[in-house]
Amino acid sequence: MENFFYRKAVKEDLPYLVEFLAKLFMLEQDYTIDSGKQKMALELILKREDQAVIYVVLFNDIPCGMVSGQIVISTATGAPAVWVEDLYIHENYRNKGLGTKILEHLQEWALEKGAGRIQLLVDEHNLAAQEFYNLRKFSRSNMRAYYKYSAP
């Protein structure tokens, strides 16, 4: 795996990241692909360096995967937590340990930020993602996610 390199994302990565989100959102029933909105969100994450991060994995200098995380305050743990968003590895590079490794980079960042845990949501139909997190010793929550848009 010597041709793989991990680093924080930069603005020049945005076209790849938007493409990755489109592929990920095809697997997640709650989300709609809108490259303009996804690009705006990624730009906001990149600007919040103290509270958010995006890591990319590159193969021969071409991004082939990503993960993002954002700090929230957990009232359950009484400490910061990192909300994991959008872990995606391009289908041509899966099953090579890249997802595990990029998640480890995010976990290290979380520790640096004082986070007591990392948390995430998985689409209930995405069995491959559920298995991935189960194998990495994530605990399944009894909580059920709900959402509502701010506009009436």
pLDDT per position as a tens digit, 7-65:
999 999 999 999 999 999 998 888 889 999 999 999 999 999 999 999 999 999 999 99
pTM check: above 0.75? yes
Angle at 43 between CA 99 and CA 95, to 5 degrees: 10
What is d(CA 31, CA 97) in angstroms, rounded to the nearest whole number?
A: 27
Q: At what angle do helices 35-47 and 14-25 cross, to 10 degrees?
A: 120
Res. 128: pLDDT tops 70: yes
In the DSSP assignment, the letter for residue 150 is S
- Domain extent listing, the chain: 4-135
What is d(CA 19, CA 25) in angstroms, rounded to the nearest whole number?
A: 10
Nearest CA-CA partner of 59 in 2, 1, 4: 4
* pLDDT band (50, 70, 90) for residue 150: confident
Asked if 20 and 82 count as a contact pair (C-beta separation under 8 A), the reply is no
Residues 6+ apart with CB under 8 A from 52: 45, 46, 68, 69, 70, 71
Record the tokens describing residue 47, joined without a space: 């600007």
Q: What pLDDT score was predicted for residue 152?
A: 66
> Beta 117-119 vs 79-89: how paired, if at all?
parallel
Could you tell me which CATH number the domain at 4-135 has? Answer: 3.40.630.30
What is d(CA 40, CA 42) in angstroms, rounded to the nearest whole number?
A: 6
Strand, helix or coil for residue 85:
strand
What is d(CA 36, CA 45) in angstroms, rounded to the nearest whole number?
A: 14
Asked if 130 and 97 count as a contact pair (C-beta separation under 8 A), the reply is no
Asked if 114 and 81 count as a contact pair (C-beta separation under 8 A), the reply is no
Please write the tens of the pLDDT for every residue from 78-116. 999 999 999 999 999 999 999 999 999 999 999 999 998
